[in-house]
Amino acid sequence: MFFQRLKFLRQYGIIVVLIVLVIFFSITTSAFLKTENLFNITRQVAMLGISAVGMSFVIITSGIDLSVGSLISLSNILCAKLMVEGGVNPVMAVFITLLMACLVGLVNGAFVNLANIPPLITTLGMMTTLRGISYVLCNGYPIWGFTEKFRVLGQGYVGPIPIPVIIMILIFILGWMFLNKTVYGRYVYGIGGNEEASRLSGINVKNMKYLVYILCSFLTGVAGMIMLSRMNTGQPKVGGGFELEVITAVVLGGVSIFGGQGKLIGVLIGVLILGVLGNGMIIMNISEYWQQVVRGLVLLAAVGFDNLSSRNLKNT
Amino acid sequence: MKKDVILSVRNLIKNYPGVTALDNVSIDFMRGEVHALVGENGAGKSTFIKVLTGAIQADSGEVELEGVVHSGFTPHEALFDLGMAAIYQEFNLVPDLTVAENVFFGKEITRGPFINMKRMSSETEKIVNRLGMKINPRTLVKHLTVAYQQIVEIAKAVSKNVKILIMDEPSAPLTTNEVEHMFELVRALKKEGVTVIYISHRLAEAFELSDRITVFRDGKHIRTMETDKTERRELISLMVGRELGETYPKKRYDSDEVILKVHELCTEELLKNISFELRKGEILGFGGLVGAGRTELARALFGADPTESGEVFLRGRKVHIRNTSHAIGVGIGLIPEDRKRHGILSEMSVKENISFSAYRNINTFGFIRGKEEERISNDFKKKLDIKTPDLNRKVKNLSGGNQQKVVLSKWLATQCEILIFDEPTRGIDVGAKQEIYELIKDLAEEGKGIVLISSELPELLGMCDRIIVMREGEITGSFMRGEATQDKILDLASGE
């Protein structure tokens, strides 16, 4: 009986955490449960969510991408520079920036595939390099003065729904289809579960790795564009620590860091938990320092619980 | 030596949800005997060992060791207080420590606070010599061959003065020569009065080595027999519960059409000038010792490892196989030797495993055609009689024989014209073996070209139209069906 309850919790535990948080903040603060605030939360986590979809692909293949935070910065600076100093129209600038993001993914994949450098090291190096390039491009100064239209991407609405949220939901749906309905999704899980067995099953593992790193960088580029539109200024320091936040959301959502396991629905909930937690604590006027402590503890508690319960399940 | 009962197991029962793993098992073991345990996969042997080594607790029953009754004990007690040790197929050795450090791991000989390497080495040497072997105790374990690592495992057990040593499939990782050495070791242990419980799928070993044989089936102790009064056929029928011989099906198909031609294939490390032809519907065997280069050849043909030079022709057309994906594209499949590491995707479902290599054919713009996936996996489940409650079950929950069938299904689903089987029956019980032989025969009759790599000579002799023998990366000879004998193959394989 106890283990049955545990099994239930393991499957839905992460939802329970989200619900408990929502109830907690609804009771303790009056501002939390307002429609406007709820939309506000989802808009705040949209960038995190979009990048987390790509990160999930990478982590399920048992890789990791630490360069996403720096890529946010570089895409912000590049796009801003193109629009302000290059006079490129916003659509074209965004397109070029996304192309650059894909190139970053390609380079990540190349180091992993060709030089056989572990993803952690490859993307660690990339993280520093991209951040550096970002500062070099703008000399450390922010870039601003975009056309009014560019703000639509990050600040616009369709009816009551913020555009970033619509993009995030769309990307989660497409990501879900990719993972569950296409052969590539199966290969992603297969490679993460047993890379050599997948290779010996005739899967082109290298191409798949290129694909996931490119997708991760591309989606991060999309998140970066939303970021730029919301801030309305290109700043090189933006996206610092973003990679850790994305990885936290993915792991919180139940994706195994060893690869081969995890569902996007869990990742979405992981993203929402981080959003609710951050928003709720701000409303409660908890200091930024304590917020960090709480976020860290929530991750440890959620993953720890998950591991303990799965061990118990094995014993039954 | 006087034979007395050292270990008596009585009325052991162990239930798992839905399965009775041990059903009222009672056996006596004599001091200094070699006692073989045989039975199909899932017969209860593993559970039995686990109870003896304290890894799991039986639901009821007792274990009497030298007159003292125990109802339950921990692994630590089993090893240090009771003197029962087990050696599994995967060794529990620390590769970066020396032989002596491994032998005395956990109970190092010390002088003051320091480890006394000198004495540990000399003690290790004594133990190994007593077993009639020679190893430098200061060698790092990772530099030893599998066979020597096994000797270190055994020395480790002997250093603890074990009375009962359980060996689980000890011959599986060894070459034919090494198996002989291991037998000598077992006999040396026996002389010292150690009781050896020997578990093996290879019945020949049980007959050669053991004093008595116990048969397990469906968690029950079926019978314990004196080895020299037992017939092989009788033993097999006790194991499977029905009359069944290890018979090889007769193939009715031949063709002169060459579908694969390999010309002077070389790899950087091992293979030298490998040339052969494979015909449509032919079963071509590859014999040789472990390390002769057969698996390397299979992998090179399949594009899993790079080749240095040489040519491969498929139906007369020259191809250069770049990678495994390309290999399947041109119709070459490899069923790898190591099922757990290279064959199955254990966390994925039966359905996904069966379709995994065929997804390339059953998608529209990358989207899987779900109904076709369902149909293919269902077909193979029926055709190969894969025992699973449903197709969405994770493969890791299936028994070894059924996992192998899933791997085979994956390859059959690709419709490859040429299939390379690398040790397809290793670690599989008699019944499943028979089914796999039938399957290979059927495939050949459908006109596929089969390469069969096997270390079991009777299997090669029984199944193959032609047998090629390899040694140290080279082909040393070949035989047509009927020409070959075990001795001839062994001569060519060992170079004597």
The pLDDT tens digits for B381-428 are: 999 888 888 899 999 888 778 888 999 999 999 999 999 999 998 777
- What's the fold here for domain B5-240? Rossmann fold (3.40.50)
Rounded-to-integer distance, Cα A247 and Cα B203, Å: 53
Instruction: Tell me how close the Cα of B124 comes to any Cα of chain A, in angstroms.
Output: 38
pLDDT (mean) for A164-180: 97
For B281: left if phi > 0, alpha if psi spans -120 to 50, otherwise beta; the answer is: left
Residue B273 confidence (pLDDT): 94
Q: According to the model, what pLDDT value does residue B113 have? A: 85
**Partners of residue A177 in chain B, C-beta under 8 Å:** 367
Contact B368 A202 (CB under 8 A): no
Task: Please give the Cα distance from B28 to B37 (Å, whole number).
Answer: 12
The pLDDT of residue B427 is 72
Q: Provide the ipTM.
A: 0.86
Q: Give the model's pLDDT for residue B468.
A: 96
What gap in Å lies between CA A183 and CA A173, rounded to an integer? 16
Q: Is the pLDDT at B147 greater than 90, yes or no?
A: no
Residues of A within an 8 Å Cβ radius of B: 177, 181-184, 186-187, 189-190, 193-194, 196-204, 260-261, 316
In a mutagenesis test of the A interface, which of B296, B324, B341, B376 is the best target, namely the one with the most A β-carbons within 10 Å?
B324
In chain B, which residues have their Cβ closer than 8 Å to the Cβ of A197?
A: 336, 341-345
Q: What is the CATH number of domain B258-494?
A: 3.40.50.300
- Min Cα–Cα distance to chain A from B333, Å: 8
The residue written with tokens 């899987």 in the block is: B368
Map residue A174 onto helix, strand or coil.
helix
User: DSSP class of residue A227?
Assistant: H
- Nearest residue of B to residue A262, measured between CA atoms: B347
- CA dist B416 and A200 (Å) reads 14
pLDDT at B454 exceeding the cut of 80: yes
**SS3 state of residue A160:** coil
Q: Which residue has the higher pLDDT, B256 or A198?
A: A198
Closest listed residue to residue A303, CA positions, set A232, A229, A251, A225: A251
B342 to chain A, minimum CA–CA distance in Å? 4
Q: Give a three-class secondary structure readout of chain B.
A: CCCCEEEEEEEEEEEECCEEEEEEEEEEEECCCEEEEECCCCCCHHHHHHHHCCCCCCCEEEEEECCEEECCCCHHHHHHCCCEEEECCCCCCCCCCEHHHHHCCCCCCEECCEECHHHHHHHHHHHHHHCCCCCCCCCEHHHCCHHHHHHHHHHHHHHCCCCEEEEECCCCCCCHHHHHHHHHHHHHHHHCCCEEEEECCCHHHHHHHCCEEEEEECCEEEEEEEHHHCCHHHHHHHHHCCCCCCCCCCCCCCCCCEEEEEEEEECCCCCCCEEEEEECCCEEEEECCCCCCHHHHHHHHCCCCCCCEEEEEECCEEECCCCHHHHHHHCEEEECCCHHHHHCCCCCEHHHHHHCCCCCCCEECCEECHHHHHHHHHHHHHHCCCCCCCCCCEHHHCCHHHHHHHHHHHHHHCCCCEEEEECCCCCCCHHHHHHHHHHHHHHHHCCCEEEEECCCHHHHHHHCCEEEEEECCEEEEEEECCCCCHHHHHHHHHCC
Residues A32 and A284 sit within 8 Å (Cβ to Cβ): no
Class of domain A44-315 as given by CATH: mainly alpha
> Cβ separation of B356 and A196 shorter than 8 Å?
no
- The answer on pLDDT for B159 being more than 50 is yes
Give B28-31's long-range contacts (Cβ < 8 A, gap of 24+).
Answer: B28/B224, B29/B5, B29/B164, B29/B195, B29/B197, B30/B3, B30/B4, B30/B5, B30/B6, B30/B195, B30/B211, B30/B212, B31/B1, B31/B3, B31/B4, B31/B5, B31/B6, B31/B163, B31/B193, B31/B195
The minimum CA-CA distance between A316 and chain B, rounded to whole Å, is: 8
Instruction: Give the model confidence (pLDDT) of A100-155 as tens digits.
Output: 999 999 999 999 999 999 999 999 999 999 999 999 999 999 999 999 989 999 99
Between B328, B333, B352, which is nearest A186 by CB? B352
Mutate to test the interface with A, among B56, B321, B325 (most CBs of A within 10 A): B325
Show residues of chain A in contact with B367, CB under 8 Å: 177, 181-183
Task: To the nearest 10°, report the CA torsion of B78, B84, B86, B91.
Answer: 70
The shortest C-alpha distance from B357 to chain A (Å) reads 5
Query: In chain B, whose CA is at the least distance from the CA of A204?
Result: B325
A200 with B304: Cβ contact below 8 A = yes
Among B302, B342, B367, whose Cβ lies nearest the Cβ of A196? B342
Mean pLDDT, to the nearest integer, of B207-218?
90
In angstroms, the CA B120 to CA B112 distance is 14
Residues A150-175: what's their mean pLDDT?
A: 94
Strand partners, B147: none
pLDDT: is B173 or B475 the higher one?
Answer: B475
- Residue A187's closest chain B neighbor by CA? B356
Q: Closest-CA residue in chain A for B396?
A: A193
The contacts found for A298-304 with CB under 8 angstroms, 24 or more apart, are A298/A17, A298/A252, A298/A273, A299/A248, A299/A251, A299/A252, A302/A13, A302/A14, A302/A17, A302/A252, A303/A251, A303/A252
Q: Does B367 touch chain A (CB under 8 A)?
A: yes
Average pLDDT, chain A: 91
Residue A235 DSSP SS3: coil
What is the predicted pLDDT for the residue at A309?
A: 63
Neighbours of B273 (CB within 10 A): 13
CA-based nearest distance B406→chain A, Å: 12
Using one digit for the tens of pLDDT, what is the confidence trace for B54-97? 888 888 888 888 888 887 788 888 888 888 888 887 788 898 99
**How many angstroms separate the Cα of B105 from the Cα of each of B52, B101, B252?**
22, 6, 57
Q: How far is B455 from chain A (nearest CA, A)?
A: 21
In the predicted structure, residue B201 carries a pLDDT above the cut 80? no
Q: What value, to the nearest 5°, has the Cα angle with vertex A192 and ends A187 and A196?
A: 80
Check if the beta carbon of residue A126 is closer than 8 Å to that of residue A66.
yes
B18 touches A at CB < 8 Å: no
Residue B433 and residue B421 in contact, taking contact as beta carbons nearer than 8 Å: no
**Over 80: is that where the pLDDT of A11 sits?**
no
Task: Identify which of A183, A200, A261 has the shortest CB distance to residue B324.
Answer: A200
pLDDT at B290: 72
Closest chain B residue to the Cα of A260, Cα to Cα = B347
Closest A-chain CA to B347: A193
* Domain map (residue ranges) of chain B: 5-240, 258-494
Q: Is A234 or B220 the better-scoring residue by pLDDT? A: A234
Strand order in the sheet with B449-453: B332-335, B418-422, B449-453, B283-287, B466-471, B474-480
Distance CA B222, CA B213 (A): 11
Whether A183 sits inside 8 A of B366 (CB atoms) is: yes
Average pLDDT over residues A233-254: 93
